[in-house]
Structure formats: structure tokens, C-alpha cells
Amino acid sequence: MCSPLRPRPERGELAFEPECYGRSTQGRPLEVWLPGEPPEVLVFAGIHGEEPETTVALSSALRSLGPGRLRAAVVLAANPDGLARGTRGNARGVELNRNFPTSDWTPAMALHRFTRGEPQDVALSPGPAPASEPESEALMELARRLAPRLVVALHSPLACVIDPRRSEPARWLSQRTGLPMRMDAGSPTPGTFDGWAREETEAMAVTLELPVCSKDEALVRYLDSLVDLLATTVAAMRPIDL
């Protein structure tokens, strides 16, 4: 029987090596950790480089799993150049989560807040064309190759679970995390990966938005939920009827 968790002294490093599924704008490897069997779930973090807590939280969950427990494919840093620079966009200043070829993609500048509570007045390009960036193209090709039943994108700091279809995995994740369900982010979000996944693949697509909190707070509050997300089959992600 597989042990559910690794002993805490062993969680300082990842238990096995990733596969490289592409290269970033600056040539950094785009890495995915794969389970031994074809994954039903793809979970990724760090598509916005100024949301490093998503990468740390997902890495901590991956490092906590015992041998043979991983069920999901895991991308810790979908935008490694942005993470290295601390910028929302990639090394070319493109907002990657507005760069996917959705039916609502627009060439208009993507606006975001410099700090929470301020106006959305910081502008980034969505790219010269849909899927113009190597990070976007590589993530789409990974999703096509793996053909997961469920895709979960980690973001911050909206403190909610977003799924306009209110799928069972989304409601299960809402119950596990204690974060409320929402149908959308509250403002237009054209060209997102989850929008592309819903339009172009058969996968359910869910966004998990962590709240404003420190790395330690995120782990105290959400580590168990993220471990469950990585170790649970889609069929077992059934919300409890309240």
C-alpha cells in the first residue's frame, strides 16, 4: 500500500525529475511532472510571474506526496521567465493568460492592478496574435497530448473557485478549500487558457484563486486540499450534498 505522504524531512526536494515540454521565450525549460499512468488531471501554476505563491503552494503539495500517490500532471511554472523577473507577463511583456486562441480573444491591452485595491490601469499586451508566445503554444500542446479530463489553473488573489459550468470537481474543490464558487472573475477575461480548454478540448476547466496571504498561511490553509487534488481521481471528486 502506498504511503499517503512523504515524511516531512524528505519534503525539501522533488522526488523525481520532470519532463521538458517546451522552452520559454528566454530558453528556460517548461517542465511537467507526470505520474506513472496517463493523468486525468492537469494542474498548473505560475502563468502570472507575480503570483509566486501559486508555484510554492503547488510545489509543496507535490513534494508532500508519497510514492505512487500522484495522479495529476503538474506544471509548477507556466511562465518561468516572468517568475524569475517578478513580472506578470513573460520576457516579452505579454500577458500569457490573454494570449490563448479563444473565440473572445482581443488585441486590446490587458489591464491589471499594480496592487490590490487600486484601479486596473497597468497595461500588458495580449500578444501580436493568439498563441504567439512559446509558453502558450507549449501549454496547449501539452494539454492536447495528455488529453486530461480536468484542468485546474492556480491563481491569486481572488479567493474563489471559478467555473461557469459548476462542474462536480469545481464544487468538490470549493468544499475542500472552503473558497466560494463563482461563475467568472468579475471582469472580462478574454484569451484565457481555461477558456481555450473549454472551447477546444473535452476537459473541464477550473480556476482556483488563492486569497491574499503569505506562503506559510497558504500552506496551513490549502496544502491538504492541494495534496488531495493531485492524488484524487476525477471520479472521486464528488461534492457532498448539503
99 occurs within a structural domain: yes
Cell reading at 69: 500517490
214 occurs within a structural domain: yes
Q: Is the pLDDT of residue 116 over 90?
A: no
Q: Which residues of 16-33 are buried (b: 16+ CB within 10 A; e: fewer)?
A: eebeebbebbeebebbbb
Confidence of residue 241 (pLDDT cuts 50, 70, 90): confident
Q: How many CA atoms lie within 13 A of 25 on its CB side?
A: 21
242 occurs within a structural domain: no
Q: For residue 22, give its domain range.
A: 8-236
Question: How deeply is 62 buried, as exposed, middle or buried, from its count of CB atoms within 10 A (0-12, 13-18, 19+)?
Answer: buried
148 occurs within a structural domain: yes
Instruction: List residues with catalytic annotation.
Output: 209
Torsion, CA 89, CA 121, CA 99, CA 85, rounded to 10: 0
1 occurs within a structural domain: no
For residue range 66-87, list pLDDT tens digits in order.
989 999 999 999 999 999 999 9
Give the pLDDT of residue 172. Answer: 98
Q: Is the pLDDT of residue 150 over 80?
A: yes
CATH number at residue 158: 3.40.630.10
109 occurs within a structural domain: yes
Confidence of residue 178 (pLDDT cuts 50, 70, 90): very high
Give the pLDDT of residue 1. Answer: 38
72 occurs within a structural domain: yes
pTM: 0.96
Give the pLDDT of residue 15. Answer: 93
Distance, CA of 61 to CA of 53 (rounded, Å): 12
How many distinct structural domains can be found in the chain? 1
156 occurs within a structural domain: yes
